[in-house]
Structure 1
Amino acid sequence: MSSTYLIALGSNRRHHLYGRPQDVVLAAMEECAAFGTVTARAPVIATAPMGAAQRRFANGALVLSSELTPTALLAALKHTERAYGRRPGQRWGDRVLDLDIILWSGGVWRSVDLKIPHPAFTQRRFVLDPACTIAADWRDPLSGLTVAQAQARLTRPRPLPR
């Protein structure tokens, strides 16, 4: 049975074959086609560093239709990260490639290694901005908000404190 996944992609380090981070993300989008059918690709955007990272990121998103289970897809994505040179290291540090499962057509998935929906996706513009271009109407099964609504909540102007 086929499932649909929203995958977030990010890079902020050059790759010896693919070059700049935005080109790493584009190449990784092509690699993800090995796991099913990529039905939509978001434009790659530049975003500010987060946490311990020192360099700007290139971020994107894609929608994948796949026969893989969530755990099998996670294993395939982690294998791809390692093939691109990702090594275990500092949380939120610089990396050649980061691939995360954000949403899944099956709703909620919880295991030791994987949580869907991704626990922090509604607080991350670098995920929501690209995702909104290809999956704006996809609903978070926990909050009931669409990707577009989550993005609007995150980006809406707020009054300055008095």
Structure 2
Amino acid sequence: MSRHYSYIGLGSNLDNPKLQLQQALDEIAQLPGCDLLANSSFYASKPQGPQDQPDFVNAVCLIGTELSPQQLLEALQSIEQQHGRVKKRHWGERCIDLDILLYDDLVMQTDQLVIPHPYMTERDFVLIPLAEIDKDVRIPNKGGLTALIDKLTTSYLITI
């Protein structure tokens, strides 16, 4: 089996968000064929979309994995379901959200999965934690992190 490297975005704004993220990191580390290699600090951020919800806690982690992108997606969705995730509204509140941001330098699009994550370059709560792990990461077809972070118009992140 070949080893791949994937960055995963984590977010929560319900049911003790910091604990939700820590538990999700522990569960990602225990996935078969996966090793948790690094994780960022936790950051408080304003919600995307509807503002009538609590602020989010976000982080990014790097894993080494033998899972395919589809297998990894299914494993992350299983963790979300174990945490009781229910999608009530688009960009709404959630106990846990786990997104594959990057998978090696793969570019792919299916009905279930788009890599790189389609909104990652617009989100401070993804780019800044990602840069904390590795500021030299390049996002396929988008460029380097430093230039992308410089393009952000606003940032409301607070390290917690």
**Alignment check: 8 A CA contact 1:40 1:62 kept:** yes
Aligned length: 151
Unaligned runs of 5+ in 1: 15-19, 158-162
**Alignment check: 8 A CA contact 1:26 1:44 kept:** no
Q: Which amino acid aligns with 2:122?
A: Q
**Alignment check: 8 A CA contact 1:3 1:106 kept:** no
CA RMSD of aligned residues (A): 1.6
The answer to whether residue 131 in structure 2 is matched with residue 135 in structure 1 is no
If the length of structure 1 is used for normalisation, what is the TM-score? 0.88
1:101 aligned residue = 100
For 2:101 and 2:146, how far apart are their aligned partners in 1?
Answer: 14
1:17 aligned residue = none
Question: Structure 1: which 4+ aligned runs deviate by more than 2 Å?
Answer: none
Of stretches 44-53 and 66-75 in structure 1, the one that deviates more from structure 2 is 44-53
2:146 aligned residue = 148
**Alignment check: 8 A CA contact 2:105 2:139 kept:** no
Unaligned runs of 5+ in 2: 156-160
Identity %: 34
Q: Which amino acid aligns with 2:26?
A: E
Tell me by how many angstroms 1:104 deviates.
Answer: 1.1
Give 1 or 2: higher strand fraction. 2
Candidates 19, 22, 29, aligned match of 1:26: 22
- 1:65-108 deviations in Å (ceiling 9; x for gaps): 00000000000001100100101320110000000000111421
Q: Which amino acid aligns with 1:4?
A: Y
Q: Which amino acid aligns with 2:49?
A: G
